Structure 1
Amino acid sequence: MKKRLLIFLFFTKIAFAQSSFPVDTSYTVKSVYNKVKKDHPHISYVPTRKHENVNQKKEIVYKKIKNRELHFDAYYNNNKKLNPAIVIIHGGGWRSGNKSQMETFAIEMASKGYSCFNIEFRLSLEAPYPAAIFDVKNAIQYIKKKARKFNMDTTKVAVLGCSSGGQMAALIGTTNGKSDFEDAKTNSKFSSKVNAIVDVDGILAFKHPESIEGTVAGLWLGGSYEEKPMVWQQASPLNNTDSNTPPILFINSSIPRFHAGRDDMITILNKYGTYNEIQTIQNSPHSFWFLNPWFDETINYTTQFLNKIFK
């Protein structure tokens, strides 16, 4: 009996250590469905499709911070050639959501000849900006290091994000090679550079005439705009867009606030001759990518763009 008690306490201690950081579970596929269904009664969940050409490996540790481990899930085409990669960042207002929410999306893209990676990163209740940016860039470095395990071409890496993840994806892509956005604690010969961006309904500027970001953004950025104006500006992809920014696809809902700063960014991209593309899903709500009838349209736009850039 005593031995069983000790075993129980041992595993309880491990479980507590792994979940000792605060977690906001308010943003889920179910919560999105319940909210959207009020105005779009025709919607339905997207079932996860099985594809024989897709391999899966889950809960791969790419980074440790003291006792905290960060993981990613890999979904990759099992053909013998090296495939373009997609690093996928979930949404949730920088404070909620998790990598598993993008599983159906990743599996579908992997079936089309991509190596896909759903990334866990520290959310705002656990660590403020720029921790999450460092995390995803570290994940990119790790994935490149292990590229052959996932049939991946390290010269063809896209970063894709939805909602707040779209903002993060755009920031990661627009800060290619900028030392201020690299984790100084991580020494790696593998670059965090990406070669394409897919921003799915993520803002491009926190403080902008089209933006209405407030408390949720402030929680991630360490304070309100009045308290942290330089951080709000630094974290805006629009302010980092330059000649090094890779090609970008914007997939947008019909709600203007979720593409704040996009048109100004496109003006800069066009100045440098950088390929960019907008696909607007008409009469769609935010978080459309989770649900039918918008899921396949999102997949098709993503596939067409990345095939153009990489294949």
Structure 2
Amino acid sequence: MKHLFLVFFSLSTFVLFSQIQKDTSYTVISTFKKEIKKFPFIKIVNSVEDISVTKKENIIYKKTGETKLHLDAFFKNDEKNLPAVVIIHGGGWSSGDKKQMHTTANAISAKGYACFCVEYRLSDEAKFPASINDVKDAIKYIKANAISYNVNATKVAVLGCSSGGQMAALVATTNGKKEFEEKSSLKQSSDVQAIIDMDGILAFHHPESKEAASASKWLGGTYEEKKEIWENASTLTHTDKNTPPILFINSSQPRFHAGRDDMIAILNKFGIYNEVKEFPSSPHSFWFFEPWFDDMINVTTQFLDKIFKQK
């Protein structure tokens, strides 16, 4: 009996460990090692924290089952009613970590914004639209606690990189669509007023897209198996007259622009403000590296200033 108990305990422990172990393949270091072969001049951005920015880490914004989801906040204590920027990390919907966006959050916050790096359920934990639900709940939490972070709850942007960029665009183009939200005790709206998409695709089943493997994992099957879900997860499906202004910041890698020009055509039809900044001769995850980081921050904050601070 004792032997059976030990076997059961060992198996239970193994199952539990395998359930909570996350994919850590997408990191700044792993990306650097990959990209330096093609771009030998790149350097990882030196993270220097601005002393005027307050940082609060691992704030629980949501509990779902046994899972607690966290966000990290960056804001200036001496400034009130700051526009908020919700930041979504990349990693093919299956990897990545909110901490890898801290350098970006600190830099944007130093220029007069409250930034929030958001943790969300990855594809090994939950399929689409769980991560979209999570980001929308993070937005509700930030608005509900706006006073604590000096946030103007009527001025919220969502920024994402790679798969996070795809998510950011989808979060914003589904403003007000309850099918993309889970039940919540928070009554605040999850609507946002601006989008910054850094190399996130806008359509999955598209001639330019090469994300079939990662997409299938997140969307629960291939396009042939889950056509409706693939279409519903694509930003192009939801782009219309209500889409917020958007800034596209792109690398020189065409596969990560999939659907961008199609979306711009729709935005222009409705007179919705949009910008494109494309860095020549750049790798996909340019936001981690010099010589692009400073330009990226400047372009981003200039866009945000135009949307939120200019009369």
1:226 aligned residue (224, 227, 231): 224
Which residue matches 1:110?
109
Secondary structure class of the residue paired with 1:40:
coil
Which aligned pairs between 1:132-281 and structure 2 lie closer than 5 A? 132-183=131-182, 185-281=183-279
Instruction: Report the count of equivalent residues.
Output: 296
Cα deviations by residue, 1:213-237 (Å, 9 ceiling, x for unpaired): 2111100000000100010000000
CA contact (8 A) 2:45 2:293 kept: yes
Which residue matches 1:9?
none
Which sits farther off after the overlay, 266-275 or 45-54? 45-54
CA contact (8 A) 1:93 1:164 kept: yes
TM-score normalised to structure 2 length? 0.93
Which residue matches 1:4?
none
Task: Report the alpha carbon displacement of residue 188 of structure 1 after superposing the two structures with TM.
Answer: 2.5
Cα deviations by residue, 1:97-155 (Å, 9 ceiling, x for unpaired): 00000000000000000000000000001101000000000000001000111111111
Which residue matches 1:43?
42
Task: Report the alpha carbon displacement of residue 260 of structure 1 after superposing the two structures with TM.
Answer: 0.4
TM-score normalised to structure 1 length? 0.93
Aligned-residue sequence identity (percent) comes to 59
1:304 aligned residue (291, 302, 305): 302
Cα deviations by residue, 1:74-93 (Å, 9 ceiling, x for unpaired): 01122232111000000000
Task: Report the alpha carbon displacement of residue 25 of structure 1 after superposing the two structures with TM.
Answer: 0.3
CA contact (8 A) 1:81 1:151 kept: yes
Secondary structure class of the residue paired with 1:244:
coil
Task: Report the alpha carbon displacement of residue 50 of structure 1 after superposing the two structures with TM.
Answer: 2.3
Task: Report the alpha carbon displacement of residue 20 of structure 1 after superposing the two structures with TM.
Answer: 4.3
Which aligned pairs between 1:70-149 and structure 2 lie closer than 5 A? 70-149=69-148
For 1:18 and 1:119, the matched residues in 2 are separated by 24
**Alpha carbons of 1:162 and 1:196: their partners in 2 closer, same or farther (altered >3 Å)?**
same
CA contact (8 A) 2:144 2:186 kept: no
Question: Which 4+ runs in 1 deviate beyond 6 A?
Answer: 16-19
> RMSD over aligned Cα, in angstroms?
1.4
For 2:43 and 2:101, the matched residues in 1 are separated by 16
Which residue matches 1:291?
289
* Structure 2 letter corresponding to 1:120: E
Task: Report the alpha carbon displacement of residue 173 of structure 1 after superposing the two structures with TM.
Answer: 0.5
Which residue matches 1:59?
58
Secondary structure class of the residue paired with 1:71:
strand
Could you tell me which runs of 5 or more consecutive residues in structure 1 were left unpaired when the two chains were aligned: 1-12
Task: Report the alpha carbon displacement of residue 294 of structure 1 after superposing the two structures with TM.
Answer: 1.0
CA contact (8 A) 1:17 1:67 kept: no
Secondary structure class of the residue paired with 1:25:
coil
Secondary structure class of the residue paired with 1:142:
helix
For 2:75 and 2:148, the matched residues in 1 are separated by 10
Which residue matches 2:7?
none
Task: Report the alpha carbon displacement of residue 67 of structure 1 after superposing the two structures with TM.
Answer: 1.9
Task: Report the alpha carbon displacement of residue 275 of structure 1 after superposing the two structures with TM.
Answer: 0.3
CA contact (8 A) 1:94 1:220 kept: yes
CA contact (8 A) 2:160 2:198 kept: yes
Secondary structure class of the residue paired with 2:79:
coil
